[in-house]
Each structure stands twice: as C-alpha cells, then as structure tokens.
Amino acid sequence: MQLPWDKRTVLNSVKKTGKVIILHEDTLTGGIGGEIAATIAEECFGNLDAPPVRIASLDTPVPMSLALENNFLPKERFAEALRKLVEY
C-alpha cells in the first residue's frame, strides 16, 4: 500500500532523534498531521523524549485578507513551537 507520506523514513527519524514536530498548512483538526502523530505515538512511543508536536493553520476558514492570512498560516507559531521542542 502506498501512503501519501514516507512512513518508514519518519519513524526511523523519530527513533534516531527522540523528537518530532509536524508542520502542515492545512487546519489542525482533520489534517494529515494528526494521522502522522497517531502513527508515531503508536509505533515509536518508547523512543520519544518529548510529545509529538503538531503545528498547522487555524481551525477557521481561509481568510481573504493578506494580514489575516499571515496569522492563519502557522509560520510564527512554528518558530515558537520548534524552540520549545528543542528545549524540552
């Protein structure tokens, strides 16, 4: 079965580093990041040094204003979440 993500590479990376941050542009709820996080939790729980972190767009409709869109996308939230994960 072909998956839309490279499961083997992701799991090997998690086992090597003990940490994972999942970033995607889709909304947090119902996005593929949740499926990836669930797989990591199920198959690599013993290898994790920190909980899996998911960063995604806000659970709102995509705004049509550039200023609102910049807040909608996870760019700024990603940098903060990455810093916290590294320090965990």
The CATH number given to whatever domain includes residue 18 is: 3.40.50.920
Is 75 part of a structural domain of the chain?
yes
Q: Is 1 within the bounds of a domain?
A: no
Per-residue pLDDT band at 4 (split at 50, 70, 90)? confident
Residue 70 CB neighbours (<10 A): 11
Note whether residue 44 is domain-resident: yes
Closest alpha carbon to 51 in 64, 66, 69, 38: 38
Distance CA 2, CA 6 (A): 9
Domain for residue 69, yes or no? Answer: yes
Residue 36 CB neighbours (<10 A): 21
Q: What is the pTM of this model?
A: 0.85
Residue 47 in any domain: the answer is yes
Concatenating the DSSP letter of every residue in 35-80 gives HHHHHHHHHHGGG-SS--EEEEE-SSPPPSSHHHHHHHSSHHHHHH
Range of 79's domain? 7-87
Per residue in 58-85, pLDDT tens?
999 999 999 999 889 998 899 999 999 9
Residue 34 falls within a domain, yes or no? yes
Number of domains in the chain: 1
Answer whether residue 2 is part of any domain.
no
